[in-house]
Each structure stands twice: as structure tokens, then as C-alpha cells.
Amino acid sequence: MRATRFLMPTLRDAPADAQALSHQLLVRAGFVRQIGAGLYSYLPLGWRVHRRVEQIIREEIDRIGGQEMLMPVLHPAELWKRTGRYAIPELFKLTDRVGRELVLSMTHEEIIALHAAEAIRSYRDLPQIWYHIQIKERDEPRPQAGVLRTREFIMKDSYTLDRDAAGLDAGYALHEQAYDRIFRRSGIRFYKVESDVGMMGGSGAHEYMAPSPAGEDRVALCDGCDYAANVEMAVAVPRAAEAPTGAPLEEVATPGVTTIAALAAFLGIDEALTAKSVIVVPADEQGGVVLAVVRGDHRLHDLKLTKAIGAPHRPATPEEIRAAFGADPGSIGAVGIPDGAVREVIVDREIERGGYVVGANRTDHHLRGAELGRDYAARVADIRHAEDGERCVHCGGTLRIEPMIEVGNIFKLGVRYSAAMGALFLDEEGREQPVWMGSYGIGPARILASAVEQFADDRGIVWPQALAPFDVWIVPIGDDARAAADDLERALTAVGLDVMVDDRDLSPGVRFADAELVGVPLRLTIGKKLATDGVIELKHRATGEGETLTLAAAPAHLRALVDQAMAW
């Protein structure tokens, strides 16, 4: 490929609205261009990388027996109504000219189940692994960080179809193997972490996470063992608090004290000896408010509480709190709640035992020594936020919490979709059974962006060899070098390398800078030393190290370097 004929609009300055490093560099280096909020075109450089990622994924899903197919983006709305997903706010909905309702799909469980309903008749037809690499549409409330969170993106999604839970486990395990190979081959740093199965149920899920400051997820990692979990799931041992039991319940006046910090200061005690009450209003038909209680120095985790309640929720307003408890916010507690004031009390398991200072449900008063069981009843659940620096429940090591980009996920769906769509088969006893499904996603653009985030330096992108848009970038300097560059390009192409020759009539400095910005791993400079010493120069983008070699030696040497860089 010749730079003079290649669309590669590099910029000296990044657009002002690009925040994430990957966003800035991908635009600056000419890989992508923004069309609208969360909408991007991939220019030739970007698309080359994307296709390399896709190809790795394709090879590895094929290796575990996946069958590639292609399903439409536009679906009849009726299918989504059947599975109850039509109400998802992120689902794009539209009508055609005669008023038929359609959706732009965000995943393909419905279609897969539909095909299964038609094609799978017997246990003899199972198992199956079907996948495609297709555009997905999501009406994101807030697209951000360049290509990391977009409204339209390409996703590999595969689906396993099995006769029972054991079969699903096997299909899941195959995907664990495939995903491990995919991310290792991509060259990015990643973790496999425990993840929430979400409101849709399901029996198990993991996410594949690439550490990056631009990541939207938070993952707890143990330095002593391989425990890794999304904070939505993470459990940790908090710092110990000596909350004595057996003391009588005692009311204390706490005038003007409405925060935990003020309460602890007023009483001269550790915040960990208090209990924090949070009142929320679930968004379901049942009505009423829920009182959630965590230790005073802990944070409530919204998603954990959502799971505990079984519905999303919002904070109660001060008026709602006064109406239910007859006391101001800041003096609310689980002891002595007026009859019918709440539909449920949920306390975090860290304060299941011990006596704590709680709100007295009387403005400007608290209670000392409140104990679960003796003084009040509640359901116990894990609803607190695990914190950086807390100890691992498995090994006692130290947990740290890092931002990460979700690059893939694997999910045991069970029979939810197959049952809704009538994907049934006959087992060996002739009984009708629903197909057991799993779904497995990967976002190639996120792998691409993660690589930029993880390896870029102050000169630009540094691609892992496996993802680079070109393997080799040749900079010929001087007229004599042009012919040599042509010969070298042919020779390198002949050994299977992707080669860019920067034949632009620009100063060497500009071309070196562009080569570094674009991030191709190997750069060859053809200059004066060819005439004087018969050699050209090779420079490694990642390390900056250089060496010289002869034209004749270049093809075999570079081929070996590329192979070595992609070995794993």
C-alpha cells in the first residue's frame, strides 16, 4: 500500500471534544471519524484493525465448533414483545410506511430462539453453537468516550443451544476457552471477572475486562489470589468494628444531627458503630418504600440493593420519608418503625450481629445498642459497596478496585428465551423440553480501543502486532530510496506481510511522526546507509530499539519478528 493513495487523514491536534485517550488518538491518527453522538465511521486504518480483531474472533469461535451466520438488524417488534424485552428503554423502535412496528436489535436471542424453534426437533440435533458478527443498535442515554460507548456498534454474539444444564455448562466452558485465546491473541491485558446476571436471571455470568482509566466498570482484584469481580458482585472483608451486644436499647437526644459523620462526632464514637438508613421507593407495582441499612462507614450499592429488592428504585423524597416515618430524614432507623410505614427492611450482612446507633424515628433522636433480632426484624443481604483496600474473603489479601473496559461477556441464559419462543425438543423419553441457551458477546471496537488505551505513549498508538493495521511501515528518504522501497514492499508482501510505503513527498520528520502516531510495530527506513553501507534500518515502535539489516535479509527477518510477536 502506498501512503499517497491511502485515506489517512492524520491531525496535529485532537478534536476538542475528545476526552478519552483512545478517542483522541484514533481520531488524530486517522482511524475513525465521528458522524454524530455515538456514531462513528471507520476509515481504512480503523477498519483494518477492526477486521483483524474480527478474524481472531472468527477463528477461535470456529475452533470450538461455532457456525457463522448472519441475522438481520431490523426485527418485527412482536418477537420482542413475546420475550418481554420490548419495554427496554435502550431498544430503538420504529414503524414502517404501513404502520408495522419494528425494532433495531441490540442482541439476537429472540431470532436465535426462533431459528431453534424451527430447526431443533430432537435431542439428536443438540448441541449447537451459532454466531454472527453484526451491527447492533442501542439508544444509549449517554454515548461517550469515542468508540467505547456508541449507539451503533459491531458485536460478535454467539449462542449455545443445549439439551440440559450440564450441556449449557459445557458450552459455557468452551466459550471460556475461546475467549481466553481471543483476548490473549489480541495482545491486550485483561481479566475474567465474576459479573452480575442482571434482572433477567440466568445462572452464571462472567465479564472479560481490560484495565483502562477510560473504563466505565469497576472491578475488584485481589493481590493474593485470582479473585476478580465486578463491584456489582464483589464481596470483601471490611475493617473490623467492635459493636458490643447485650447492652440495653437507649434513646439519646441528638439535636440537629442528620449525618453519620455528625452523629459519630456528637457521640464521640467510630462511624462503624452506627448504622445508616436509606429509604428508597421501588419502581414496581407493589408500592411502598424499602428501608435499607448499612454500617455507618459503608456505602450502599445501588445495584446490589436493586437485586435484593427485585426492582429498580429511586431515593425517597424528604416528604415521603416524613409521611412514612413521622420523623425527619437523618433520624430514621429500623427500630420502632410505625406500622405499615415500610414494605420491607433490608440490612447489610455486615451489621447482622452487634449493637449499633440507629435513628429513633423521632426527629433529633437516636437509639444506642440496636440489635437485629432482638430489637427489630429485617431481611439480611449483601447490599454494601466493596471498597478499595479491603481484604479478600478468600485469601485475606488486599483488594484494589480498578476501572476497566468490558470487552466481552459470557452468560448462562437458561430456558427463558427458548420457552418464550417455543424452542422445544423431544428428549430420549419423548418428552418436550425447552432448549438451554447461553449467550456470549464481544465488542471488537472495545478491544481495539483497549489496545490503544493500554499501550499508547506520548508519540501515539502502539499496536500489538496482531491488531496493527500494517505489519511494517517503510519510510524511503531520497529519490534513490523509492525504487528500493518498491522492491522491498514486493519482497515483504511475498512473505505475507501487510506493508505501507510512505511515499509522500514530505520531510522525513513528518513521516516518522505519522508512523509513530499510527502505531505500526515495525518501521523500516531506507536512507543514505543503503548506498554507503548497503543496509536499511529497522525500528521497533514499542521499545524504540533499532537495528540495521540488508535488503536481502529483510523479508525473512521481519517475517520471523512478526511471527514471534504473535506467538503466545
Element at 376 (helix H, strand E):
none
Part of the chain binding RNA (CB under 7 A), chosen from 31-39, 223-231, 292-300, 422-430: 31-39
Is 72 an interacting residue with respect to RNA (CB under 7 A)?
no
Strands (E), 110-185: 128-137, 152-162
25 SS3 class = helix
- 22, 24, 34, 212: which one binds RNA (CB under 7 A): 34
CB of 504 to RNA, least distance (A): 8
Is 556 an interacting residue with respect to RNA (CB under 7 A)?
no
User: Which three cell numbers, joined as nine digits, stand for 338?
Assistant: 410505625
Q: What's the rounded Cα separation, in Å, for the pair 228 and 224?
A: 11
- 68, 95, 528, 563: which one binds RNA (CB under 7 A): 528
Residue type, 285: E
Could you identify the residue written with the cell 442501542? 138
Is 213 an interacting residue with respect to RNA (CB under 7 A)?
no
Residues facing residue 402 across a β-bridge:
219
- 95, 507, 547, 552: which one binds RNA (CB under 7 A): 507
Is 38 an interacting residue with respect to RNA (CB under 7 A)?
yes
**Measured between alpha carbons, how far is residue 64 from residues 166, 172, 173, 245 in Å?**
17, 11, 10, 56
- 529, 540, 557, 559: which one binds RNA (CB under 7 A): 529
Part of the chain binding RNA (CB under 7 A), chosen from 127-135, 248-256, 462-470, 503-511: 503-511
State how beta strands 290-295 and 344-348 pair: parallel
Which residue, 307, 303, 304, 309, is CA-closest to 291? 309
Binding mask 435-464 for RNA (x = CB under 7 A): ------------------------x-----
Is 537 an interacting residue with respect to RNA (CB under 7 A)?
yes
Binding mask 462-481 for RNA (x = CB under 7 A): ---------------xx---
Total residues interacting with RNA, rule: CB under 7 A: 54
- Taken in order 83, 84, 90, 93, the sign of the CA dihedral is positive
Q: What's the rounded Cα separation, in Å, for the pair 524 and 558?
A: 10
State how beta strands 522-526 and 191-194 pair: unpaired
**Spatial contact of 127 and 161, defined as CB atoms under 8 Å apart:** yes
Part of the chain binding RNA (CB under 7 A), chosen from 139-147, 152-160, 337-345, 346-354: 139-147
Is 549 an interacting residue with respect to RNA (CB under 7 A)?
no
Closer to RNA at the Cβ: 422 or 508? Answer: 508
**Measured between alpha carbons, how far is residue 32 from residues 45, 188, 214, 422 in Å?**
8, 20, 18, 42
CB of 517 to RNA, least distance (A): 5
Phi and psi of 62, rounded to 5°?
-60, -40
Is 16 an interacting residue with respect to RNA (CB under 7 A)?
yes
Is 375 an interacting residue with respect to RNA (CB under 7 A)?
no
Is 77 an interacting residue with respect to RNA (CB under 7 A)?
no
- 2, 6, 10, 326: which one binds RNA (CB under 7 A): 10
Is 542 an interacting residue with respect to RNA (CB under 7 A)?
no
Is 85 an interacting residue with respect to RNA (CB under 7 A)?
yes
- DSSP assignment letter at 438: E
Residue type, 357: V
- In 10 A of CB 18, how many CB atoms? 18
Is 14 an interacting residue with respect to RNA (CB under 7 A)?
yes
Instruction: Catalog residues that contact RNA under the rule CB under 7 A.
Output: 9-17, 19-20, 34, 36-38, 84-85, 87-90, 141-145, 198-200, 216, 302-303, 312, 459, 477-478, 505, 507-510, 512-514, 516-517, 525-530, 537, 539
